[in-house]
């Protein structure tokens, strides 16, 4: 029987406004729930590594080990390799992979990590089965995903309500689940994992610099990324509606009292020995 393959379409693409967000991510701000379980000798698989900033941080935390970063998009891996090279890391490698059918033997890695991945895949339960398969007995599967419906902000601008409604419709039309954070534990149990610790974490944007950065990347992404093309091409929004959403992001970013919180679900699963 053929193994499952990726069927969903990555909603965001790799426009500069998307990579602006991805390159901001670090192990500290995006994988803190995992860091206490790492040991210097560990071999780690970082799924959906993107431009490699989290991958490089993980590699520095396992100096006697090795980190393999994989992504479904070949183009972004050149940036990941450049990130590792710029930091002088010799314990990393990178490859193209589909999380539904990983090209690694059983029981290969001490840790299999995925940040903001399962919300974009066609079959998250199958993805977790594959992650479990390539994890060594006693090792960890670590997953963190945002939950869009749980994001909250102030002030209550109607344009941001329109943004959230539009984003969720586009993401689901692409085969993903934007409210993945709340579902991670259920997906892990359905995948056969039993030792599952579920937590949550947040990103908060409130200072003038944080508001300018967060609002700017979403304002740009709404107009110029693959997400914008899929919103209009799929009949979810007109170009005029996208401009209105982009302007709402700019307005929120200019507000001195602006505040935005992104809730993430997290699971740290121990594979049975």
As a three-state string, the secondary structure of 179-206 is CCHHHHHHHHHHCCCCEEEEEEEEEEEC
Using the predicted structure, report yes or no on whether residue 2 has a pLDDT greater than 70.
no
pLDDT confidence of residue 23: 73
Using the predicted structure, report yes or no on whether residue 21 has a pLDDT greater than 60.
no
pLDDT confidence of residue 124: 97
Cis peptide before 155 (omega within 30 of 0): yes
pLDDT confidence of residue 9: 58
For the chain, what is the mean pLDDT? 93
Q: Which of 273, 272, 251, 267 is nearest to 127 (CA)?
A: 267
pLDDT confidence of residue 3: 46
* % residues pLDDT > 90 (the chain): 87
Read off the pTM: 0.92
pLDDT confidence of residue 226: 84
Average pLDDT, integer, range 206-223: 95
pLDDT band at 222 (very low <50, low <70, confident <90, very high): very high
pLDDT confidence of residue 8: 53
Between CA 132 and CA 208 the distance in angstroms is 42
Using the predicted structure, report yes or no on whether residue 253 has a pLDDT greater than 60.
yes
pLDDT (tens digit per residue) in 172-211: 999 999 999 999 999 999 999 999 999 999 999 999 999 9
Q: At 232, list the tokens.
A: 């209009």
pLDDT (tens digit per residue) in 89-148: 999 999 999 999 999 999 999 999 999 999 999 999 999 999 999 999 999 999 999 999
């Amino acid at each position: 029987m053929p193994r499952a393959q990726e069927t969903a379409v990555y909603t965001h693409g790799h426009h500069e406004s998307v990579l602006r967000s991805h390159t901001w991510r670090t192990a500290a701000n995006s994988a803190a729930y995992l860091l206490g379980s790492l040991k210097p000798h560990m071999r780690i698989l970082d799924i959906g590594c993107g431009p490699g900033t989290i991958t490089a941080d993980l590699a520095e935390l396992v100096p006697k080990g090795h980190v393999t970063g994989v992504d479904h998009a070949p183009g972004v891996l050149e940036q990941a390799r450049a990130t590792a090279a710029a930091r002088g890391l010799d314990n990393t490698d990178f490859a193209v992979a589909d999380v539904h059918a990983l090209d690694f033997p059983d029981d290969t890695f001490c840790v299999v990590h995925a940040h903001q991945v399962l919300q974009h895949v066609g079959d998250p339960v199958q993805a977790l089965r594959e992650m479990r398969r390539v994890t060594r007995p006693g090792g960890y599967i670590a997953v963190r995903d945002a939950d869009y419906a749980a994001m909250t902000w102030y002030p209550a601008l109607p344009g941001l309500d329109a943004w959230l409604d539009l984003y969720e419709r586009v993401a689901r039309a692409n085969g993903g689940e934007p409210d993945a954070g709340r579902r991670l534990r259920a997906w892990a149990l359905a995948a056969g994992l039993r030792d599952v610790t579920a937590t949550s974490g947040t990103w908060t944007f409130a200072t003038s610099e944080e508001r300018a950065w967060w609002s700017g990347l979403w304002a740009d992404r709404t107009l110029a990324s693959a997400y914008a093309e899929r919103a209009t091409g799929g009949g979810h929004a007109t170009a005029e509606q996208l401009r209105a959403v982009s302007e709402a992001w700019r307005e929120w970013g200019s507000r001195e009292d602006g505040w935005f919180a992104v809730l993430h679900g997290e699971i740290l699963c121990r594979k049975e020995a």
